A and B are shown apart, each in its own frame.
Chain A
């Protein structure tokens, strides 16, 4: 399907056409200036070639108008390039709310991904076409980067952080993904394939494969009890810790009066550094679980807490900012 000498990858995501269009735009501008200046230089080189050994050039010291023009015009053109890029980037950094969330863990030198049902893959990622897909990226060791050239997207995978990236596949097919941040010996081998399927095929693939892998929500619920989270985080809000019903993506009111959105990063931070943000009305009692949970366990707990989104929120003891508060 590729020509013998391809110049650009396939366009297989919602971002690809706009990225390519911007590429063409910037290439056109740069090509114009490159050709114009090169042509001028070559032209002058020949036209003003020295004719006699003692000849000198005509002393022209400068011209304010020219200086202004070639300062302002490139500046304005640059601003258009900046704007075009900014629009795409801001869109990329703000995943929509209705995403299919897939967890991706990078470690030297392989990728593990986990579908919402718990189905796991190694160095493979199956996604449905036409759906907004969000990848939640975690690293177990060094910095990696998950890159899908045909989608024109990539994002660093940083240990100690969650990073997210999103895309909407637009064409069924198999597309290469790579690790794009040098991570050691087999960095070049740390890649795999994204398989984009029609939604029905995706569903059957999801249910057809041995679903013996534990649903992360189930695993998370088990951990929630095992690690004694349930002793303080009572669902009715009467425990020593806020109820977690409905907390995912809600606005939480903190002790210092500020509010914060309880997103994936907040949940993770609350587990690993619980005293960073104390919910209003509660004491800083929660111990940290840093060093006691693997990345997968943290992801499982997070998935479980997210599943509590639909549970009834108690009137008090939830920590959620009252409606109307910014």
Chain B
């Protein structure tokens, strides 16, 4: 097996290897845009069809927690970027420290998400699990609110899944960085995980206003 940092068999030069890895991650992120895009499209169309109920449902999710999460995630993108920078200037210890900070912030995000989900469960806002948005409301309102929450859970759930995968990648990176693997000549894994992490952050930047901020007055 090849160890990271060495030339893989199919490549001619390290430059080619690096360029290839980077292009690979970018192409992968493009597919992710289309993946999330389908759900964003569905959400947007439904929102314009049922503006009131979607607004009501949106107001019932926890804006404070959502906002805190946004700050946490942006913060984690900052620490991730710092980690990449640290690798590029050869500050190996900082690489590890920033990676750990990123992981911590990511975990905080997931924890807060867990709290939010629990809130929704308690309020009977989880579709498929004795969903009841407004006891006494007509079936249409309940149905349309269930649409909102189905999309809410599907979109934030998919996002959370990507965060969990990201957390796994970070754990691997932290392990490798402990061994001092990353330096100005070779920081490809950090760069690429950084790209992935920033992408997951950007998805949230779109999710947050779309889900939490419509119709708040």
Question: Chain A interface (Cβ within 8 Å of chain B)?
Answer: 272-273, 275-276, 287-288, 290-291
Contacts and interface: CB of A to CB of B under 8 A. Distances in A.
A291 B139 contact: yes
B189 to A, nearest CB: 46
Nearest to B53: A275
Nearest to B138: A288
15 contacts: A272-B140, A273-B140, A275-B52, A276-B49, A287-B138, A288-B138, A288-B140, A288-B141, A290-B138, A290-B139, A290-B140, A290-B143, A291-B138, A291-B139, A291-B140
Majority SS at the chain B contact face: helix
Contacts of B140: 272-273, 288, 290-291
B144 to A, nearest CB: 9
Contacts of B138: 287-288, 290-291
Interface string B50-84: 00100000000000000000000000000000000
A290 B141 CA distance: 10
Contacts of A287: 138
Interface of B: 49, 52, 138-141, 143
Given A276-B49, A288-B140, 13 more contacts: A272-B140, A273-B140, A275-B52, A287-B138, A288-B138, A288-B141, A290-B138, A290-B139, A290-B140, A290-B143, A291-B138, A291-B139, A291-B140
Nearest to B139: A291
B81 to A, nearest CB: 45
A270 B114 CA distance: 40
Contacts of B141: 288
A288 B143 CA distance: 12
A275 B52 CA distance: 9
Contacts of A273: 140
A177 to B, nearest CB: 32
Contacts of A290: 138-140, 143
